[in-house]
Chain A
Amino acid sequence: MNETEAVPVPAPAEVEENYLSAGHTVRSWLLTTDHKRIGLLYLFSIIFFFAIAAVAAAIMRLELLTPPGDLVLSATYNKLFTLHGVIMVWFFLIPSIPNVLGNFLIPMMIGARDVAFPKLNLLSWYLFMAGGLLALHAIIVGGVDTGWTFYTPYSSRYSNTHTVEMALGIFLSGFASILTGLNFIITVHEMRAPGLTWFRLPLFIWSHYATSLILVLATPVLAITLLLMMLERIWGLGIFDPRLGGDPVLFQHLFWFYSHPAVYIMILPSMAVVSELIPCFSRKRIFGYKFIAFASMAIAVLGFVVWGHHMFVSGQSVYAGMIFSILSFIVAIPSGIKVFNWTATLHRGSISFETPMLYALGFIGLFSLGGLTGLFLAALAVDVHVTDTYFVVAHFHYIMVGGTVLAFMGGIHFWWPKITGRMYPEKLGQLAALVTFIGFNLTFFPQFVMGYLGMPRRYHAYAPEFQIYHVLSTAGATILGVGYLLPVIYLLWSLRHGKKAGANPWGATGLEWQTPSPPPVHNFAEVPRVTGEPYDYSPQEEEKKAEDDHA
């Protein structure tokens, strides 16, 4: 454990007011500057958005049960996948772990009372919601059919849907990202507790630090790109449309310059979570701490120079393709390093299999497969065949759902007792994790096979020979849906009926566990003082304890 010389807290040993009991009015939530409450505001918002995007996915999977387009019109189908992509990427995945768990935990993990700029933090949430509601409005008044990628000149001239409004929504939410990133960077630099040097930081912080750098550096490019697209659409400014003297491939360069790093905005925080879970449930100090920390930074930096791998068939030069290909192969290495280090952490540990650990192990499996299939896409000749097919769809769902969503679920279960003060029902949790894992694989593994067979993505109707794989995929999605619903039910149930958690139900190290659950408004009664290394677990002691308990 991080040894802390907590100077004995003076008097109030009785129930101290915690951040949840500190105010019950709507106003106390909507005007809060408490990072923990803002984290929860984000949690409710992203679950709301997730639900909408998931319904869109469900309708698409139903449509795809049969080859002809018979359930919805093709125009509707196109709006559904656009909705699904836009909402999932910008209003669920990107904010998921950083804005919920990151907001809640970063200050606590570094022994601070709040983030560096609490009001800015609240402003982020408002921008995010403004963006989200604008996007939602665009959907309600008729939808958008460009796909989440907004390729020009389709989006800037030919589509007659609500492109501008949707782009404006994303544009706004981008500022939320930038502010959050800034806030985290400065918080980590300036607010660490005494004794908490950089190499004593939990890896959760390192990963979020890397994420924040990307948020701050990449998001402005997205803002500019969308702005140019909107200007072209509204005023006919010739940037991307060849009829106006523009270059449509330029749009792709700009878009992917943001959107490839955005993949790491989504995956680095999930690595952050897993780096906390694995050591805790194997009671082992994490293997290769510095290597994992630097791998996060390497991913953040290399992530900026591989965007062209989305464009191997888009008409960029052969030599550009070859350079982006080698760089994309190289960017796989730091991710590999992390996977190896997590696995090595298990060696000689004292491993238990509570729900968060199951999600973490599931993450490693699915993320590895997602990463390995990324090599197929980096390999030029194979990418030419599989790009814009279901192979790509499967690949990024392995990373985004198998990776980010599983880690998010693992993190939510792990920190649930801290956030709410209650335990969730363990057996149900394990069941849900298993159901999710099975449902996920059944949904997305068949998509690799049909992708290589040539099934293009964003197809409303398709050739009959692909049907078997679509049927499997839809069946899997049904199971996956159950895996998502179960936790919603039992987590809500646990709010009232769950066991009281106590400060540290997992016996975890980390400053956030050294304060009551739910934490007091200012996190710590006394500023903690850190004198030791992170992840100070001992498998031998754990075994002794287990034996004693048994005896």
Chain B
Amino acid sequence: MRFPLFPDQASTLAPKVDELYFGLTLLSAIMMAIIFLPMLYFLYKYRRGNKVDRSPLRIPLWKIEVTWTVIPLLIVFGFYTWAADIFFDQERPPAEAMDITVIGKQWMWKIQHPEGNREINELHVPTGRAVRLIMTSQDVIHSFFLPAFRVKQDVLPGRYVTEWFQPTKVGTYHLFCAEYCGTSHSGMVGHVIVMEPADYEEWLRVGKPAETMAQSGERLFRELGCSGCHMGNSQIRAPRLEGLFGKPVPLADGQIVMADEKYIRDSILLPQSQIAAGYAPVMPTFAGHISEEELLQLLLYIKSLGLKQPEETR
């Protein structure tokens, strides 16, 4: 039987979390000592029958109480700041992160890389690059947990969530579903395989499918008839989608929202919920007509358009 004491450290985040963990462990040890060394001493010294001075102490009570209220309070504020600081970074993916899409379903993880490569219950990533996962669930809540990277994020149905990490060490590590999701929850496991960048390129090339995700998205964009309204010179006036992603969009009700993953998703599934300013609410909903996978492909296509210059100013 193996006797591991500590998980692998395989991401840039892992050492930071571990430092904090050690800090907290040290704090706990000190606190336990502060409480229990005196306690054991009292229990021994003041055991019944032991002849010692038992006359009441004459120290003002409030001084003692304030001391053991304020000092712990300051200490926990310190730890709060430390932990929140790491968390804040952990929640903000760097702009140059590469996107990989993840769909959770009972009981497997379906993963697709932007280059189009698909895998199930395995995730190949290169070292030295920030990776951002765009995740959603097809059914219940799951949770994408990579212990060696110290990251975890619940994967919700009906919504995109993201999780990011930068792998540092080549190897194969656990992938667990951490949110209970039904009968085979403990079977919803797999591996993340961290490779040298060159090996990763090679892996991508070998498994290269006919279309990248954006290309699939483009095809869908035509097949589903989106292009009929959104491209060229159609009868219906619909906004061009070039340059849309990542920009603020003025809505008909005067609000301005950021065109992020959520906005694109909602625009396709719930077109009536947010109407772009200056347009008629004529876009039909595609809810029920496209799968989560296709939705992600459309998203990546629209995102790729975001990099192009719009042909007309919006």
Contacts and interface: CB of A to CB of B under 8 A. Distances in A.
A384 B150 contact: yes
A147 B54 contact: no
B192 interface: no
Contact of B180 (A151, A321, A325, A539): A151
B157 A546 contact: no
A75 B183 contact: yes
B180 A381 contact: no
A224 interface: no
Given A288-B65, A384-B150, A154 B47 contact: no
A351 B80 CA distance: 38
A340 interface: yes
A375 B24 contact: yes
A376 B43 contact: no
B285 interface: no
Given A154-B181, A351-B42, A314 B154 contact: yes
Interface stretch (A101-109, A328-336, A429-437, A520-528): A328-336
A351 B35 contact: no
Nearest to B176: A456
Nearest to B163: A313
Interface in B28-55: 28, 31-32, 35-36, 38-39, 42-43, 46-49, 51-55
A333 B69 contact: yes
Given A379-B79, A379-B80, A381-B90, A153 B157 contact: yes
Contacts of A369: 28, 32
Interface stretch (B122-130, B139-147, B211-219): B139-147
Contacts, number: 263
Contact of A333 (B73, B152, B174): B73
Contacts of B28: 369, 372-373, 375
A147 B180 contact: yes
Given A288-B65, A388-B179, A376 B24 contact: yes
A12 interface: no
B55 A348 contact: yes
A337 B68 contact: yes
Contacts of A4: none
B283 interface: no
Interface in A347-401: 347-353, 361, 364-365, 368-369, 372-373, 375-376, 378-385, 387-389
Contacts of A353: 47
A454 interface: yes
Contacts of B43: 346, 351, 361
A382 B20 contact: yes
B267 to A, nearest CB: 16
Contacts of B54: 348-350, 539-540, 543
B206 interface: no
A540 B55 contact: yes
Interface in A132-170: 145-147, 149, 151, 153-154, 157-159
A313 B153 contact: yes
Given A375-B79, A459-B186, A387 B2 contact: no
A367 to B, nearest CB: 10
Interface string B66-78: 0011001100110
A538 to B, nearest CB: 9
Given A322-B87, A350-B48, A385 B147 contact: yes
Contacts of A341: 65
A58 interface: no
Interface string A427-461: 00000000000000000000001001110111111
Interface in A44-63: none
Given A364-B39, A376-B21, A546 B48 contact: yes
B57 interface: yes
Contact of B178 (A146, A373, A389, A542): A389
Give the bracket for the number of chain A residues in contact with chain B. 35 or more
Give the bracket for the number of chain B residues in contact with chain A. 35 or more
A343 B42 contact: yes
Contact of A382 (B7, B24, B148, B181): B24
A322 B80 CA distance: 9
B144 to A, nearest CB: 9
B14 to A, nearest CB: 9
Contacts of B79: 329, 375, 379
A46 B49 CA distance: 39
Nearest to A449: B5
A12 to B, nearest CB: 37
Contacts of B187: 74, 461
A481 interface: no
B35 A340 contact: yes
B159 to A, nearest CB: 7
A482 interface: no
A344 interface: yes
Majority secondary structure, A binding face: helix
Interface in B70-109: 72-73, 76-77, 79-80, 82-84, 86-88, 90-91, 106
B59 to A, nearest CB: 10
A378 B156 CA distance: 23
B228 interface: no
Nearest to A388: B178
Contacts of A243: 157-158
Of A337, A352, A384, A468, the most chain B CB neighbours within 10 A belong to A384
B46 A375 contact: no
B226 to A, nearest CB: 23
B187 to A, nearest CB: 7
Interface of A: 69, 74-75, 78, 145-147, 149, 151, 153-154, 157-159, 242-243, 248-249, 282-283, 287-288, 291, 312-315, 318, 321-322, 325-326, 329-330, 332-333, 336-337, 339-341, 343-344, 346-353, 361, 364-365, 368-369, 372-373, 375-376, 378-385, 387-389, 449, 452-454, 456-465, 467-468, 471, 539-540, 542-543, 546, 550
30 contacts: A151-B141, A154-B182, A158-B182, A242-B158, A283-B48, A288-B65, A291-B61, A315-B159, A318-B88, A325-B87, A329-B77, A336-B68, A348-B53, A353-B47, A368-B32, A375-B79, A379-B80, A380-B84, A381-B17, A381-B87, A382-B20, A385-B151, A388-B143, A454-B176, A456-B178, A458-B180, A459-B185, A465-B4, A468-B3, A539-B46
Given A159-B182, A315-B159, 7 more contacts: A75-B183, A313-B154, A332-B72, A348-B54, A381-B16, A388-B145, A458-B185
Q: 10 closest pairs, A vs B, by CB?
A: A242-B158, A454-B147, A380-B87, A379-B83, A381-B86, A459-B186, A346-B42, A388-B178, A329-B76, A372-B28
